[in-house]
Amino acid sequence: MDESPQSFDRVLSSMCTPPHPVAREAAERFLATNPGDPASFPSVARLEERAVDTLGEVAGLDDPAGYVASGGTEANLQAVRIAREHGRNDANVVIPESAHFSFRKAADLLGVELRVAPTDADGRANLDAVAELVDADTAGVVAVAGTTEYGRVDPVPALADLAADAGALLHVDAAWGGFELPFTDHAWNFADAAVDTMTVDPHKLGRAAIPAGGLLAREESLLESLTVDTPYLESRTQVTLPGTRSGAGVASAAAVLDELWPDGYRDQRRRIRDTAGWLADELDRRGYDVVDPELSIVAFDVDTRVFEALRDEGWRVARTGDGELRIVCGPHVTRDVLGEFLDDLDRRAADVGTGHRANPGAGSR
Ligand code: 0PR
């Protein structure tokens, strides 16, 4: 094999981050185990129960139902499936336009009509627009707690009320935001609102190894609506989408949740929040149009030629649908890394002649 894994040094676009040392070690130890066959592999099955319990604490839910999925896509798909089981035959699901594209995959696979509500000017679900799309066939409403592009948090309690009035389930996609939001004032979780299901991914800000997503449900019966019989396994039923699953992902999630919840994640939130705020200030001082970071994602307008030049220098940066450069301030994105990035940005902006100020004043890094 002649390839090595690339370094994360210049990766500014990823919602994943190198796993915490305890997650890496647990992943290696449990590599050969299969939580999809819990009767044959009971120790990893116990770890999964622990992981789900702790994810419940993260999300404000005592006695949670759920499992460690392959990622946010599977968790969202399963949540749409739960809503469909709960609803009528020609069910629809209402999502804000900021929702992750995994909901499009889910709707396509499940034959559910997807209704997309415009967001407000700041990128949050617009309640009136959602209300207009909800009708008697609505089986589920989705709220995003930490949008992929701008880190925005939808008005979860109001959306939950709207869903409840329509007899629909409310799913919160906190795949990325779930490990930052417990340390903020946002109302987003099971304790704050009538939330039925939630996605919260250990393999993003939770610092588990990939694959480790999280699906939580308020009631066991919601998850049980997905049950299929597994006659030739020792355990007789399954609610997960895959059969064989990664023991590495499950064990790493359990280990890192044990290690970091809550104090380690609180410290992490403080660090990434400070970094995002600092970066936004630095960009603002240079004259860039910066989208105010609610959680730790910073997006700003940048000339296409500058964007391409930064990519050519090895910076792994992505753009929003509207073209802003978007930096996900995960734990590996330190001020030192961003200081180098800003130096390159200043240089490239000067080359192109965008008119932005370079490194103005003191105080960077
Ligand atoms: N929900 C939200 C809010 C997300 O942001 C994402 C992924 C998902 C669900 C789906 O999760 P999985 O990718 O685990 O199935 N958001 C990022 C994206 O698609 C994920 C990502 C991760 C992108 C690492 C790049 C990367 O290097 O943009």
In tens, the pLDDT along 79-92 reads: 999 999 998 788 99
Residue 119 CA to ligand 1 center (angstroms) comes to: 20
For the chain, how long is the longest CA-to-CA vector?
A: 69
Mean pLDDT score across all residues of the chain: 96
Residue 117's Cβ-side half-sphere holds a number of Cα atoms within 13 Å equal to 25
Q: Which of 16, 68, 100 to mutate to test the pocket of ligand 1 (most atoms within 8 A of CB)?
A: 100
CA of 329 to the centre of ligand 1 (A): 14
Sign of CA dihedral 36, 38, 43, 45: positive
For ligand 1, the distance from its centroid to the CA atom of residue 14, given in whole angstroms, is 8
pLDDT in tens, 143-180: 999 999 999 999 999 999 999 999 999 999 999 999 99
Among 77, 198, 97, residue whose Cα is nearest residue 148: 97
Angle among Cα 67, 258, 181 to the nearest 5 degrees reads: 75
114-139: pLDDT as tens digits: 999 999 999 999 999 999 999 999 99
pLDDT score at 236: 86
Residue nearest to atom 27 of ligand 1 (CA): 14
Q: Determine the Cα–Cα distance for residues 288 and 278; give it in Å rounded to an integer.
A: 14
Instruction: Give the pLDDT score at 286.
Output: 97
Which atom of ligand 1 is found nearest the CA of 72?
11
Supply the pLDDT for residue 43.
Answer: 98
Structural domain boundaries of the chain?
A: 21-260, 263-363
Does the domain made of 263-363 have the CATH classification 1.20.1110.10?
A: no
Mutate to test the pocket of ligand 1, among 10, 14, 15 (most ligand atoms within 8 A of CB): 15
At 21, the pLDDT band (50, 70, 90 cuts) reads very high
Among 94, 62, 37, smallest CA distance to 230 is for 37
In the chain, the percentage of residues whose pLDDT exceeds 90 is 93
DSSP state of 99: S
CA of 334 to the centre of ligand 1 (A): 21
Instruction: Provide the residue type at 188 as one letter.
Output: W
Taking CB atoms within 8 Å and a gap of at least 24, the contacts of 341-344 are 341/10, 341/12, 341/310, 341/315, 342/282, 344/310, 344/313, 344/315
- Name the pLDDT band for 305 (thresholds 50, 70, 90): very high
The reported pLDDT for the residue numbered 233 is 79
For residues 26-47, average pLDDT: 97
Determine the distance separating the centroid of ligand 1 and the alpha carbon of 349, expressed in angstroms: 29
Which range has the worst mean pLDDT, 64-73, 309-318, 348-357? 348-357
Question: What confidence score (pLDDT) does residue 361 get?
Answer: 58
Mean pLDDT of 262-284: 98
| Contact present, 213 and 68 (Cβ < 8 Å) | yes
pLDDT of residue 340: 97
Nearby residues of 214 by Cβ (< 8 Å), 6 or more positions away: 51, 52, 55, 66, 68, 69, 75, 178, 198, 199, 200, 201, 202, 206, 253
> Which pTM value belongs to this model?
0.97
What mean pLDDT do residues 289-296 have?
95
What spacing in Å lies between the alpha carbon of 43 and ligand 1's midpoint? 29
Among protein residues, the one whose CA lies closest to atom 20 of ligand 1: 15
Domain 21-260 has CATH 3.10.180.10: no
Pocket residues for ligand 1 (CB within 6 Å)? 13-16, 71-73, 76, 100, 102, 144, 148, 173, 175-176, 201, 213
Question: Residue 147 C-alpha to ligand 1 middle, in angstroms?
Answer: 10
pLDDT recorded at residue 365: 52
Range list of H helices, 177-246: 220-224
- The answer, yes or no, to whether residue 280 has pLDDT greater than 70, is yes
* Strand residue runs (E) in 134-286: 138-144, 169-173, 197-199, 213-217, 228-229, 237-238
